[in-house]
Amino acid sequence: MTADRPDVTEALAEVADIARPAAADGTVASYIPALAHADPSRFGIALVDLDGTEHAIGDVDVPFPIQSISKVFSLVLAMQKAEAHDGVAEELWSRVGREPSGDPYNSLVQLERERGIPRNPMINAGALVIDDVLFGHCDDAPRATLELLELLAGDRLSVDEDVRRSEVGALHRNRALANLLADFGNLHHAVDDVLDNYVHECAIAMTARQLARAIRFLANDGIDPATGTRILSRELARRVAAIMLTCGTYDAAGEFAFNVGLPCKSGVAGGIVGIVPRHMGLCVWSPPLDRTGNSLAGRVALHELAERLDLSIV
């Protein structure tokens, strides 16, 4: 599609009309108590083309916690370290896999069965290992993730402290994952430090518009189109996008490939980012989730958008 196609605005309106009602069948995440206060009627779609043209509908300027969407950006930081230092890529890919999990994002069972090697960096256990790798290479890993996102969004960002504190109080399962990783020798820093970093990045608050801008460099062979800054080599940008396509929506990744056909990454606050290679970055946001932890109206919106604007890469 092209930026100035006259029917994009119309298509967005039609997609919003179809997708919004789907939220009624979903449930806002409540295992992190602060997320339970999210307004289930919030809904927004932002598309940002590589040339900077933006198309948007709904609540695209309202910040929400990015949650698991942060996992893409931690992986990007880790890939940057891998480009800069010999041996990091080998270490990283010996400690975390690249296969879809087919299990929920916070499953303990799979990690035990597979002896402490998480299936991929987009599930919680995998992100904890990535954060552990970053600890070894950044002076201030939480700050580094925030700064990367600020650079890519072109805005100052902040951490939602209520959400961060609330998640710290509800960390049982992630702590169990971190302990299991440590027990298998796949965490090299203190469990509490790695968890602090993880919770910090999950609580970064961004709007759908900012996220659509921030993810665009992956649609542009690793170069941020806003500034011309190379974030990743073309090869590594393609690899991150491949992991989003196969693993970014947890155990619904097959369904997403089938119905949407784009590299995507979701978070439990209801955001889903995606890229259309060589065209745009996009983000949809609607807090009520389906069983797999993906935004229900977001899924519908992405499907309808991909159909109407012919976005699927497959």
Q: Which residues bind ligand GLN (CB under 6 A)?
A: 67-68, 105-106, 124, 167, 174, 202, 267-268, 293
Q: In angstroms, rounded to a whole number, what is the distance separating the alpha carbons of residues 43 and 267?
A: 15
Q: Does residue 250 have an active-site annotation?
A: yes
Q: Which residue, 15 or 149, has its beta carbon nearer to ligand GLN?
A: 149
For the CB of residue 52, give the shortest distance to ligand GLN in the complex, in Å. Answer: 29
SS3 readout for 243-297: HHHHHCCHHHHHHHHHHCCCCEEECCCCEEEEEECCCEEEEEECCCECCCCCEHH
Q: What is the dihedral of CA 240, 197, 160, 158, to 10 degrees?
A: -70
Q: Residues 8, 15, 70, 71: which is the catalytic one?
A: 71
DSSP readout, 98-153? -S---S-TT-SHHHHHTTT--S-TTSHHHHHHHHHHHHTT-SSHHHHHHHHHHHHH
Decide if 281 contacts 218 (C-beta within 8 A).
yes
Q: Residues 8, 133, 198, 286: which is the catalytic one?
A: 198
Using DSSP's 3-state secondary structure scheme, residue 94 falls into helix
Which of 310, 6, 32, 306 has its CA nearest to residue 168? 32
Q: Which residue, 7 or 161, has its beta carbon nearer to ligand GLN?
A: 161
Q: Residues 15, 48, 60, 68: which is the catalytic one?
A: 68
- CB-based burial label for 95 (10 Å; 0-12, 13-18, 19+): buried
Q: Which residue, 82 or 180, has its beta carbon nearer to ligand GLN?
A: 180
Nearest residue (beta carbon) to ligand GLN:
68
For the CB of residue 118, give the shortest distance to ligand GLN in the complex, in Å. Answer: 13
Q: Which residue, 29 or 236, has its beta carbon nearer to ligand GLN?
A: 29
Q: Which residue, 263 or 293, has its beta carbon nearer to ligand GLN?
A: 293
Q: Does residue 71 have an active-site annotation?
A: yes
For the CB of residue 108, give the shortest distance to ligand GLN in the complex, in Å. Answer: 12
For the CB of residue 148, give the shortest distance to ligand GLN in the complex, in Å. Answer: 18
For the CB of residue 8, give the shortest distance to ligand GLN in the complex, in Å. Answer: 29
For the CB of residue 267, give the shortest distance to ligand GLN in the complex, in Å. Answer: 4
Q: Which residue, 256 or 311, has its beta carbon nearer to ligand GLN?
A: 256
Q: Residues 250, 265, 266, 284: which is the catalytic one?
A: 250
Q: Residues 60, 199, 268, 284: which is the catalytic one?
A: 268
Q: Which two tokens stand for residue 49?
A: 């083309």
Hey, which residues are catalytic here?
68, 71, 198, 250, 268
